[in-house]
Structure 1
Amino acid sequence: MQINVTFDLTPEEFRRVMGLPDVQQFQQELFNQMLEKMKSGEEGYDPMALYQPLIAESMNAMGQFQQVMLNMMSGKSSK
Structure 2
Amino acid sequence: MKITIDIDCTPEEARHFLGLPDVKPMQDAMMQEIQDRMQASLLAMDPETMMKTWLPAGIQGMEQLQKMFWSQMAAAMGQDGRK
- State TM-score, norm by structure 1: 0.48
Structure richer in helix, relative to its length: 2
Tell which structure's C-alpha radius of gyration is larger.
2
